[in-house]
Amino acid sequence: MAIEGNKKNVSPAMPARIRLGMVGGGEGAFIGAVHRIAARLDDQYEFVAGALSSTPEKAQRSGRAIGLAPDRIYSDYEAMAKAEAARPDGIEAVAIVTPNHLHAPVAEAFLKAGIHVICDKPVTTTSADAKKLLKLATKHKLVFAVTHNYTGYPMVRHARQMVKQGALGEIRVVQVEYPQDWLTEKLEATGQKQAEWRADPARNGIGGAIADIGTHAHNLGAYITGLELTELCAELSTFVKGRQLDDNAQVMLRYANGARGLLWASQVAPGNENNLRIRVYGTKGGLEWKQEHPNQLHWSPFGQPTQVIARATGAANAAAARVSRIPAGHPEGYLEGFATLYSEIAQAIRAARKGGPKADKAAHFPSLEDGIKGVAFIEAVVASSKRGGRWTKLSA
């Protein structure tokens, strides 16, 4: 049954649900369940297959726990890609929610099998791998989405539309931060699964906090402002003794239009849970949005009192309204933001079907190209920090 109220994303004559598989996201994982919930929220996907763990016993337990048929539970992603591609009822898309080092090989296997890819961020651990995936996706004419889920929040879309329409004038300053506190102590030493792989360079890649949450902050700034980041100056710090990767990042930003920015990402900031926040200032006014209070956007036209624009009210613009599901006063947040991306991605996948319906022109989601920019951002930050905070240009 479709969720009542999401009239913008759900068509009265919706085609068959998209058959979805998943790699990673088994027992003990966090983000896999989030993806599965988000995919079903607008009733556009059916979860039918998974390689939820590389350990056969855990893969079986995880698959059975969420109701997968025994013959659709795999312990090897390559075997899954081949088997599903050969089935008449095989998956059309795969969600990749593994540790970062597996994103590239898993995505490559499914692209070669002709299956659309929905990948968690950062899309790969190196730019070279990301560009290789772009060639594959282009060659096979497949959808490749990256789940920067904060771009799915209605008031983030409202802010983006304001910038596009010129409400802020020429953008001068961008400040974005994403502080957390969950790694204030050496949690990875306790065996906690989420901390353990994120603190391991072999699985997480060259960046710690900058890759895990700094990429979200970078993407949010790019999404709302539309500005091209050209160079940066960064300092990475590792405050917890014995930790191998950064747990705090401070980055100065320069944009192609002359705007300047600051980005702070930290996982050792007590009192912060998921305090993603952005402020954008232009010649005509400024705006501010906070992820922990996602249904309000603060808009300050120059020389006038600050206004609070609320989701699902008459003040919200069409970009916000088309991805709002429930009436004003009822909060929408993290899961709904993810669900918006899954619904937008569904339109692209259906459009790729032979004779499928065309996607709404307003529908959009972070692409592999956006993912490539995110990896280039991580690489530039790490390079700048290693050189003592030198200004470093982003690779093309």
Dump pLDDT digits (tens) for 219-265: 999 999 999 999 999 999 999 999 999 999 999 999 999 999 999 99
10 Å CB burial of residue 256 (0-12, 13-18, 19+) is exposed
Question: Is the per-residue pLDDT at 336 higher than 80?
Answer: yes
Mean of pLDDT over the chain: 94
Round to whole Å and give the CA distance between 294 and 326.
Answer: 14
Pairing of strands 260-266, 307-310: unpaired
Q: Which residue, 372, 380, 352, 349, is CA-closest to 132?
A: 372
Indicate whether 388 pLDDT > 90: yes
Distance CA 337, CA 223 (A): 14
Per-residue pLDDT averaged across 61-68, rounded? 96
Q: Is the pLDDT of residue 5 over 60?
A: no
Give the chain's radius of gyration (CA, Å): 21
Q: Which structure tokens are listed for 139? A: 């060659």
- Reported as a pLDDT band with limits 50, 70 and 90, residue 28 is confident
**Where residue 2 falls among pLDDT bands split at 50, 70, 90?**
very low
Q: Does the structure show a pLDDT above 90 at 395?
A: no
Q: How far apart are the first and last CA of the chain?
A: 45
